[in-house]
C-alpha cells in the first residue's frame, strides 16, 4: 500500500483504517493509477479530499470531449478514497452526476473536490465538484454509501 504521491497524512490514515488488511487493500486502486490520478489535499477536519486527473486522449468521446463515464470515474475515485479516510468500510450505493459543461483536452486537468456532507446511521452522503484550475465547475455529483 505505497504510492509516492499520497500525502503523508493520507497514507497514515489509510494504514490505520485498513490495519492488518494493508497487504490486501489496494490504495490507490489500479483504476486510480490507470487514470493517472493524484491525491492533492485531504482536510480531515472538514472531511474533504481533492484529487487531480489529466484529460487524456484515450478518454475522449467521439466529439473530442472527456467521456461522461470517465468524469464519473474521477468522482468515484475521489469519493471512494474519501469514504475510506472518514468512515468505517462502506460501498457505493449510488452516484448521481450532473454535467454542466463539456471538458475539452485543452483544460489538461480536472480537479475533483469530494466532501462528506452527512452521516445517518449506516448511510454516508457525499458531494463532489469537478472543476478546472480556475474553479470553473464542469460537473457536480451526489453519492450515497452504505457502511458494511
- Is 43 among the domain residues? yes
Peptide bond into 142 cis (omega under 30): no
The CATH number linked to 74 is 3.10.129.10
pLDDT in tens, 75-112: 999 999 999 999 999 999 999 999 999 999 999 999 99
- Is 89 among the domain residues? yes
pLDDT in tens, 120-144: 999 999 999 999 999 999 999 999 9
Grid coordinates given for 119: 452521516
Q: pTM to 2 decimals?
A: 0.93
pLDDT at 19: 81
- Compute the distance between CA of residue 1 and CA of residue 129 in angstroms, rounded to an integer: 27
pLDDT at 2: 45
Return the closest-CA partner of residue 141 out of 82, 44, 75.
75
- Is 1 among the domain residues? no
- Is 2 among the domain residues? no
Mean pLDDT lowest among 14-18, 48-52, 65-69: 14-18
Say if residues 35 and 73 touch (Cβ distance below 8 Å): yes
* DSSP state, residue 35: T
- Is 40 among the domain residues? yes
Range of the domain at 103: 8-147
- Is 47 among the domain residues? yes
Return the closest-CA partner of residue 54 out of 2, 106, 114.
106
* Residue listed under C-alpha cell 504510492: 3
- Is 141 among the domain residues? yes
- Is 96 among the domain residues? yes
- Compute the distance between CA of residue 80 and CA of residue 108 in angstroms, rounded to an integer: 23
Count of domains for the chain: 1
Amino acid at each position: 500500500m505505497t504510492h509516492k504521491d499520497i500525502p503523508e497524512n493520507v497514507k497514515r490514515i489509510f494504514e490505520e483504517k485498513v490495519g492488518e488488511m494493508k497487504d490486501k487493500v489496494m490504495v490507490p486502486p489500479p483504476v486510480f493509477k490507470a487514470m493517472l490520478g493524484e491525491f492533492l489535499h485531504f482536510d480531515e477536519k472538514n472531511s474533504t479530499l481533492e484529487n487531480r486527473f489529466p484529460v487524456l486522449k484515450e478518454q475522449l468521446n467521439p466529439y473530442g470531449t472527456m467521456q461522461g463515464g470517465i468524469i464519473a470515474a474521477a468522482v468515484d475515485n475521489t469519493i471512494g478514497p474519501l469514504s475510506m479516510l472518514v468512515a468505517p468500510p462502506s460501498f457505493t450505493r449510488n452516484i448521481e452526476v450532473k454535467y454542466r459543461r463539456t471538458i475539452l483536452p485543452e483544460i489538461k486537468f480536472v480537479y475533483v473536490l469530494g466532501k462528506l456532507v452527512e452521516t445517518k446511521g449506516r448511510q454516508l452522503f457525499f458531494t463532489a465538484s469537478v472543476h478546472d484550475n480556475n474553479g470553473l465547475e464542469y460537473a457536480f455529483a451526489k453519492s450515497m454509501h452504505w457502511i458494511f
